[in-house]
Amino acid sequence: MRYPALNDLIEKTGNKYSLVLVVSKRARQIVDKNLIDETKIENPVSIATGEVAEDKLKFHFKG
Identify whether 63 is part of a domain. Answer: no
- Residue 38 in this model has a pLDDT that exceeds 80: no
Identify whether 61 is part of a domain. Answer: no
Tell me if the pTM is above 0.85.
Answer: no
Identify whether 15 is part of a domain. Answer: yes
Identify whether 35 is part of a domain. Answer: yes
Question: What mean pLDDT is reported for the chain?
Answer: 88
Give the confidence band of 28 by pLDDT, cuts at 50, 70, 90. very high
Identify whether 11 is part of a domain. Answer: yes
- Residues 38-61 as b/e (b if ≥16 CB within 10 A, e otherwise) read eeeeeebeebbbbbbbeeeeeeee
Identify whether 58 is part of a domain. Answer: no
In total, the chain counts a number of residues equal to 63
**What range does the domain containing 41 cover?**
6-53
pLDDT at 36: 66
Question: Are 52 and 13 in contact, with CB atoms under 8 Å apart?
Answer: yes
The Cα–Cα gap between 41 and 35 comes to 12
What is the number of structural domains in the chain? Answer: 1
